[in-house]
Structure 1
Amino acid sequence: MPTFAAVDLGASSGRVMLGRVDSGPADSGLVELTELHRFPTGARPRPGGGFRWDIDEILAETIEGLRLAEQAAPVSIGLDSWAVDYGLIGADGELDGDVRSYRDPRTDGMADVLRERIDDRSLYGITGLQHLPFTTIYQLLAEPPERLKDHTLLLVPDLLAYLLTGERGAEVTNASTTGLLDATSRTWSAEVLSRSGIPAGLLPKLRQPGEPAGRFSSTPIITVASHDTASAVAAIPATGDSFGYICCGTWSLAGLRLDAPVLTEEARAANFTNESGVDGTVRFLRNTMGLWLLSESLRTWNADLAPLLSAASAEPAFAAVIDPDDEALLAPGDIPARIAGQCRRTGQPVPATRAGMVRVILESLALAHAATLQAAAELSGRELSTVHLVGGGARNELLCRFTAEACGLPVLAGPVEASAVGNILVQARAAGIHARPEPPFARYEPSGDRSPWIAAARRSGVRLG
């Protein structure tokens, strides 16, 4: 069977996957995944403060995985990763300085700096992006101006492709997360660049999913949907327009797949984003904090997840409801202590046990999922019948069950490695090979009584129902 290699980098871990595609008739073509190499990618403290990515180590681990993949003689290689972060390539062709993490506090106050140059409504009307304090445009405004001269900006997957091949470019789905791309034309926005003071020469030529991006050894690298969420959405096993999706990992990205951006004032006020997808589609979604809250809590406790999930299912429901997008929860550290602080500030009891804390996190995430999908449907004029939950969160049965109850809709879970599957699907299509997403592995039906969830949402100020 034709074989493809996918480099799929998340903000906590990376993996190199081998995907074999059954290139049979239209009712086959499923991707069979094999994990070859997995490694940590997490942001690290930076001398002098803040956080950075160890790109040298990530590159070395990626190459190690690709050397293993070479034994299977893959047709091509594709790379995807998290969004917004970048490296700057100097005039000498070398990476200049650190690749800073979006969790680095250097962007504090940069939104106000940009508002002095272009107001929020005008910016949204061009880029269609929700306000996130770490978006690339804010990171660039935090740079010393001299660093933006005679340099080329490469987002993380484009940077790795450059370090592997020597060829530069900017893949459009990831470029759409920067705050510098026109959501309608899917080109770099001359107006935003001019008004923000960011030099146009900083940005490389845009590339589309499916285009070649050089070679590693003798194997072609194919541009895929290099934003991992765009790849994950491409892997959703659904057709039609009556489904919502949740790409659930470190972040939860919940929304709809549309044919055109929604650039209304109502969408801006609701903080929805319009990011580019495969085949000219739009990912109309809102970011909310995801399983980062759980993984950081486990790291703080030095605890295993499975027994805590089992115990959490028996904890009292809705002991407290938190805002998962509280900026106090963004940086690495003692998340349970920060959640406890939020509970005290909002007059709610602090969970007395770790299992109770886990239940509060998962119920709050499920409420955020439901509220986001409800708002997306209203803003776009869609009516939803199902929800597809893909990514690592698909393994979390309690979260899937809570999400079905909160949404009042069936939740179809899987694939878990959605970004890698979508990565391989784009490569296969570029090679002229038919392939399709794998079916979901589990279905969670709501009980039919949403009233406890609606009441909990009302307590926390979230509109639901």
Structure 2
Amino acid sequence: MVHIAVDIGASSGRLVIGKLKQKKIGITEIHRFENGFSAKDGTLYWDIDYLLNEILYGLQLAKQAGYRVESVGIDTWAVDYVLLNKKGERMKEVVSYRDHRTAETIDKVTGQLARERIYEKTGIQFLPFNTIYQLYEEDEKVIMELDQLLMVPDYLNYLLTGKAVMEVTNASTTQLLNIGTRQFDQDLLETIGLRENQFGELIEPGQQLGPLKKEWFPAFDLPDCEVYVVASHDTASAVVGTPGTGDNWAYLSSGTWSLLGVETDSPVVTREALQENYTNEWGVFKTYRLLKNIMGMWMIQEVRRHLPEKLSYEELVVEASKVASFQQYIDFNDERFLNPENMIEEIQTYCRETNQPTPISAGELAACVYNNLAIIYTIAIEELEKMTEKQIRHLYVVGGGAQNRHLNQLTANLSKTTVFAGSAESTAIGNVMMQMITTGKIKDLEEGRNIVRSSFPLEEFIPKSTDSSFIIKEFKKIISEGGRMDDSKSFDYESL
């Protein structure tokens, strides 16, 4: 019997077969498909029907391949949601978090309830696309007719089983859950004009939801299997699948976004955490993920998309390694890089505005992205050490970005932290592992991570000597001064 992880990110999705044999987890990709949003009448939407069809097709492939499927679990990206009417029907298409409708909404909401108060209640960082701000901007007529709201993975579970619940790791990203009561916060609901009974029942990961209703999908030859509730936020599943040991490690889930943080038993809701915009997303077994959202591989994906020459990601890394390091200092967490019309032009415009050398070639642009991501990662590690009062000795990089050896070494050099690059499929591994824990095949999270560590190779990156303190100091100074650089500034730093 095998378990299937349905792992859907903002750029692509996959169905992965997972099985446990002789205390080792083996995974096999059975189906992969593209994902993305598209514009319609000035709004960006996901195609949720397409995603459902790809899930069903992948399950059919698994059955046709002869796999005996015991269970399936779904994880996706966070914050986006589906609105259902009283008939259980979708009321409108699913808007993407990269839509610009919420660009000014944080100020509207914090004008009604103070920023400090919202953070004290939720422990969730302030990002313009958080669910609370999306709902604030929803059409009032739609809200009046709304019967139930489900997050994207919960809605896909609902389509497969008919059971409507809200899994907590994803639900916590709404910025609507009270971190003390672990329920929806009434003050925040009133701010956006919604009621608690308009949301699905909150449910912890690691539970059996119900059988796949294969009779609802006669066009597909589907397996007999159960649908399990896993950590449905893809980052939560990625952290489950991270093979960290001890209490001095951090994780970097490197995909479209870079999520860098530590796993804690209690939330860190301090003035400093608020000031630095750290979040306390909920994890499995009532843990928390104290982390920072960093604009990740989205940057290089968009740069690559707009390049005149068609280079692979591997070729971009090679070209970047030929360029002198740290020619520009850019805070890629600036909202202007969230979804510009053309990422290359946005980077170049920023550099001209701030009197910095303008990257032109593919290698210069790629180096600009990788160098600044390494700096931002290093600063995040420093901040986490200060907030948790623990030294971080190891950084486990998982997800697609783990394959970028150049960026891994840059990060090790700057942070003075040993970097371990793990599996690119850590989210699917964590998804499968949670199903195995639920069925009793794996005892607990600690045993599961030990199994992951022995099942998948880790590549180690030892820090090399470099004057990282000078680079970090210059970055902070320039960013704090609005990004502007003196004409006389030299960028002839030793390549890392």
1:49 alignment partner, one of 42, 51, 59: 42
Which of residues 326, 339, 360 in structure 1 aligns to 2:334? 326
Match of 1:203 in 2: 199
Provide the residue aligned with 1:448 in structure 2.
Answer: 465
Q: Is the 8 A contact 2:330 2:479 kept in 1?
A: no
TM-score (norm 1): 0.95
**8 Å contact kept, 1:288–1:324:** yes
Q: 1:242 aligns with which of 223, 235, 248?
A: 248
**How far is the alpha carbon of 1:183 from its aligned partner?**
1.9
**Correspondence for 2:77 among 75, 78, 82:** 82
Q: Is the 8 A contact 1:412 1:440 kept in 2?
A: no
After superposition, where does 1:217-256 map in structure 2 within 5 Å? 217=214, 218-256=224-262
Q: Which residue is 1:137 aligned to?
A: 132
Q: Distance in 1 between matches of 2:118 and 2:42?
A: 30
Question: Per-residue deviation at 1:451?
Answer: 4.2
Q: Cα distance 1:440–1:183, how it changes in 2: closer, same or farther (>3 A)? A: farther
Deviations 1:273-323 (A, max 9, x none): 000001111000010100001011111124322222112101011111211
After TM superposition, give the deviation of residue 460 of structure 1 in Å. Answer: 3.6
Deviation, structure 1 residue 107? 1.0
SS at structure 2 position matched to 1:75 = strand
Distance 1:96 1:300, change over 3 A: same
Alignment of 1:19 onto 2:37: no
- Residue deviations 1:156-185, cap 9 Å, x none? 100111111111000000001001111233
Measured after TM superposition, the shift of residue 97 of structure 1 is: 0.7
Counterparts of 1:202 and 1:17, CA distance in 2: 33
Whether the aligned pair in 2 keeps the contact of 1:83 and 1:177 (CA below 8 Å) is yes
For residues 119 and 85 of structure 1, what CA distance do their matches in structure 2 show? Answer: 24
Partner letter of residue 57 of structure 2?
Answer: E
Equivalence for 2:265: 259
**Contact map agreement 2:320 2:363 (CA 8 A) in 1:** yes
Query: Hey, what's the Cα distance between the residues in 1 that align with 2:319 and 2:270?
Result: 44
Counterpart AA for 1:210 = G
Q: How many Å separate the matches in 1 of 2:406 and 2:189?
A: 45
Read off the aligned partner of 2:471 and give its amino acid letter.
W
Q: Write the letter of the residue equivalent to 2:416.
A: G
Q: For residue 112 of structure 1, what is the aligned residue in structure 2?
A: 107
Aligned match of 2:24: 30
For residues 396-453 of structure 1, the C-alpha deviation after alignment (integer angstroms, 9 at most, x for no partner) is 1111111111211110001211110000010001111024324442111111322453
SS at match of 1:364: helix
Deviation of 1:381 after TM superposition, in Å, equals: 1.5
1:296–1:333: 8 Å Cα contact kept in structure 2?
A: no
Gaps of 5+ in 1: none
Structure 2 runs not aligned, ≥5 long:
215-223, 443-447, 482-496
Q: Which consecutive segments of 4 or more residues in structure 1 shift more than 3 A?
A: 458-463
Q: Give the Cα separation in 2 of the matches to 1:87 and 1:358.
A: 36
Q: What are the within-5 Å matches in structure 2 for residues 40-439 of structure 1? A: 40-46=34-40, 48-70=41-63, 71-149=66-144, 150-216=146-212, 217=214, 218-301=224-307, 302-331=310-339, 333-434=341-442, 435=448, 436-438=451-453, 439=456
Question: What is the distance in 1 between the residues matched to 2:269 and 2:12?
Answer: 34
Please give the alpha-carbon distance, in whole angstroms, between the structure 2 residues aligned to 1:198 and 1:341.
41
Please say if residues 231 and 423 of structure 1, whose CA atoms lie closer than 8 Å, have aligned partners that are also in contact. Answer: yes
Q: How far 1:327 moved relative to its partner?
A: 1.3
Distance 1:457 1:30, change over 3 A: farther
Contact 1:3 1:74 in 2 (8 A): yes
What is the number of residues matched between the two proteins?
A: 456
Question: Which residue identity is paired with 1:16?
Answer: L
What CA RMSD, in Å, does the superposition of the two structures yield over aligned residues? 1.6
> SS in structure 1 opposite 2:89?
coil
Aligned partner letter, 1:314 = K
Q: Aligned partners of 1:311, 1:293: CA distance in 2, in Å?
A: 16
Change (3 A) 1:367 1:210: same
Give the 3 Å change call, closer, same or farther, for CA 430–147 of structure 1 in structure 2: same
Asked if structure 1 preserves the Cα contact closer than 8 Å seen for 2:252 and 2:398, the reply is: yes
TM-score, scaled relative to structure 2: 0.89
Distance 1:383-1:229 versus aligned 2 partners, 3 A rule: same
Assess if the C-alpha contact under 8 Å between 2:412 and 2:418 holds in 1: yes
Greater mean alpha carbon deviation, residues 220-229 or residues 30-39: 30-39
Quote how far apart the aligned CAs of 1:455 are.
Answer: 4.8
